[in-house]
Amino acid sequence: MSILIDESTRIMVQGLGRDGSFHAEQMKTYGTNIVAGVHPGKGGSSIHGFPVFNTAEEAVHETGAECTVIFVPAPFAADAILAGANAGAGLVVAVTEGIPVLDMSKIVRELNELGTCLVGPNCPGLISPEKSKVGIMPGGIFRKGSIGVISRSGTLTYEVVNQLTLAGYGQSTAIGMGGDPVVGMKYNDYLELFEEDRETELVVIVGEIGGTDEQDAATFVKDRISKPVVGYVVGRSAPPGKRMGHAGAIISGADSTVEAKVAFLRKKGIPVADTVEQIVDLVGDGLGGKN
């Protein structure tokens, strides 16, 4: 199986400018079930074989879209997220980066009240291999299988997945959860879904410097997750106060360093790889050598 998306999930794309149009085509080519696009002023047209609407409300009403992916520029992305959620999309994937933290704080509260799941913002999205991809992940490196992947780092997700695929370990769903200080769903939300997915056998969590989300996840794994979990944390060379890649990856205290995170994960019984390549070995150990 997979979590959050599969081949039947009805997807709409909000924001069909240069980037949105390009990635909409890539998603459709991969096999994603795109049923609608949203771009004010382009309603009544079509792109890549799916209809375009002026508003998210129209798109959901006409096509039954249940997931939306946001490529709207940052100044307008907050409104687009809310429009998609209020229209009835139960899952919002916000690829857009640069959305103000204050806006995201308000949005997360509102989406929680609506019961809407939010992946991102500032994320590459998610993919259930050979079923559906929503976002900008390069589909060619993924292989259908039983490993769940949750990553705070966008591009590092690809390297981790590539190593797993080359070693024969396919993925059930891989998620880039977003690198901003305020995001929607966090490790624990995804871990709970993977725990319930009968075909996911092991979960890899990829963390980085900044915040304490990895520690929260380790405690959750210890208390609530029965499946094996493998960890990896990046940012070993980052000096205090240095931003590494995006806004959420800033060492702001003793608990947000790589060393603190690795020590805490291991204390909770989660094996942590020292290199990307070692993740494969730990996955093999967790599965008893099976792939």
The single residue of 23, 39, 61, 246 carrying the catalytic annotation is 246
In the block, residue with structure tokens 């966008």: 154
Cα–Cα distance list, 25 to 37, 94, 173 (Å):
11, 17, 21
CA angle 117, 161, 196 (to 5 degrees): 45
Whether residue 246 lies in the annotated active site? yes
DSSP one-letter string for 154-200: HHHHHHHHHHHHHTT--EEEEEE---SSS-SS-HHHHHHHHHH-TT-
* CB count in 10 Å sphere of residue 63: 18
91-94 vs 67-70, strand pairing mode: parallel
Q: How many residues comprise the chain?
A: 291
The residues facing 205 across adjacent strands are: 150, 231
Quick one: which H or E segment has residue 247? none
Taking Cα atoms as reference points, which of 248, 214, 230 lies closest to residue 286?
230
Catalytic residue list: 246
